Amino acid sequence: MKSFIRKFVDEKIVASYSSEEAMFDYELKYLPTNRKITAATKLVHNQQNTYDLDAHLKWDADKDESKIVALKSTLAFQSEGREIDSK
């Protein structure tokens, strides 16, 4: 099955992270139609419990850049009143 799928798709994944941010990029190319789908996500740690999320999905990345879904958000994680026991 995998060798059958390889005839139709080409994909690339890149992920990186540090103490302040994490990035994930994914690219899929459907070979019969030459359509490229890309996804990019970036998560940035701003303050103690606050993160910025920036994500994009393009389903026709080479031919029409206007075909995009974008998500931007600020996430706040509250840890007051909760205990984590690491024993």
Question: Which residues share a beta bridge with 33?
Answer: none
Domain membership flag for residue 86? no
The total number of structural domains in the chain stands at: 1
Sign of the alpha-carbon dihedral angle for 31, 36, 37, 41: positive
Domain membership flag for residue 62? yes
Q: How confident is the model at residue 79 (pLDDT cuts 50, 70, 90)?
A: low
* CA–CA dist 46, 6 (Å, integer): 40
Domain membership flag for residue 82? no
Q: What is the pLDDT of residues 8-64, one digit of tens each?
A: 899 999 999 998 999 999 999 998 888 999 999 999 998 777 889 999 999 988 888
Rounded to two decimals, what is the model's pTM?
A: 0.73
pLDDT given for residue 86 in this prediction: 41
Domain membership flag for residue 84? no
